[in-house]
């Protein structure tokens, strides 16, 4: 019956991914079947931790996050959890050798959101590493399936992709982060005085991350490459929309790529993949 329990827990992580992220859900669906459940598990884990600090405003966030951290450690140590998200995640940690350093860095970055509302340079880099780059590294552990040399050769591009995604999220969610949580992630930026020059500098930084990331995407294992490329394409399109938007629009609304456009990008990317043009 453990097989049934584990499958049920995996399906919970899949449901969480599908409900919270259209872009990542579509990307995961085109992975080779062997990669789907473990990536759903990683996403479910990071999504629920993020929910604690971003959504549970009427509850003791610090207490809940510390409990989540302890439950994560216990699930990994005991190889079992009654929390379905942690059960599926601990299985992936053990099967693919995900390091505790990555898990600690991620949880530390979630804790930072409880105490910091301005992220100057050193905190900014630490936060992006823990909140996004290590998630890419967790996924890379899955894709490399124990091939340490391959993992080491792809680490930096994976970090760059996570960094690009996160910085775009910061721009996309700039209004809600400031209005609802009082946060500004970009060092030296005052939301109320955000300038076009600052926006252009941030966009140049993101473009460099994307350029570095693409060099790794095309070297990923075949069963993972198309799915990661698809997420990359979605974010590139979101990035282009943000780049073309004036500063005032970024300050006033959440810019997004609509679902119809995402379906078009899926078919366009599938064609490129089928023609070996990635």
Calculate the alpha carbon distances from 190 to 163, 178, 184, 194 in Å: 21, 10, 7, 6
State the CATH number of the domain containing residue 77: 1.10.600.10
Residue 44 domain boundaries: 2-274
> Could you say which residues of the chain have pLDDT below 70?
271, 273-278
Residue 27: the pLDDT is: 81
Residue 277: the pLDDT is: 58
Residue 273: the pLDDT is: 64
Using a 10 angstrom Cβ sphere, with 0-12 exposed, 13-18 middle and 19 or more buried, the burial of residue 258 is: exposed
Express each pLDDT in 165-194 by its tens digit.
999 999 999 998 888 888 889 998 998 999
Calculate the alpha carbon distances from 133 to 94, 119, 257 in Å: 20, 17, 23
The verdict on pTM exceeding 0.85 is yes
184 φ, ψ (degrees, to nearest 5): -135, 120
Residue 276: the pLDDT is: 64
Residue 77: the pLDDT is: 98
Number of domains in the chain: 1
Q: What is the rounded CA–CA span in Å between residue 38 and residue 203?
A: 32
Residue 83: the pLDDT is: 97
């Amino acid at each position: 019956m453990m097989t049934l329990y584990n499958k049920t827990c995996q399906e919970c992580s899949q449901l969480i991914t599908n409900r919270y992220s259209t872009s990542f859900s579509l990307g995961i669906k085109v992975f080779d079947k062997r990669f789907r459940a473990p990536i759903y598990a990683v996403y479910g884990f990071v999504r629920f931790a993020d929910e604690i600090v971003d959504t549970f405003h009427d509850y003791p966030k610090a207490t809940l996050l510390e409990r989540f951290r302890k439950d994560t450690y216990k699930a990994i140590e005991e190889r079992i959890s009654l929390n379905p998200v942690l059960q599926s995640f601990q299985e992936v940690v053990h099967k693919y050798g995900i390091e505790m350093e990555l898990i600690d860095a991620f949880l530390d970055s979630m804790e930072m959101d409880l105490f910091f509302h301005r992220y100057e340079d050193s905190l900014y880099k630490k936060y992006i590493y823990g909140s996004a780059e290590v998630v890419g590294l967790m996924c890379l552990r899955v894709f490399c399936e124990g091939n340490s040399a391959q993992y080491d050769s792809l680490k930096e591009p994976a970090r760059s992709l996570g960094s690009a995604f996160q910085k775009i999220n910061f721009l996309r969610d700039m209004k809600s982060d400031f209005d609802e949580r009082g946060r500004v992630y970009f060092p030296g930026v005052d939301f109320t005085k955000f300038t076009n020059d600052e926006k252009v500098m941030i966009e140049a930084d993101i473009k460099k991350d994307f350029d570095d990331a693409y060099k790794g995407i095309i070297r990923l294992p075949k069963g993972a490459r198309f799915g990661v490329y698809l997420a990359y394409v979605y974010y590139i399109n979101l990035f282009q929309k943000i780049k073309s938007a004036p500063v005032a629009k970024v300050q006033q609304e959440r810019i997004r790529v609509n679902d119809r456009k995402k379906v078009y990008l899926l078919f366009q990317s599938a064609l490129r993949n089928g023609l070996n043009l990635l």
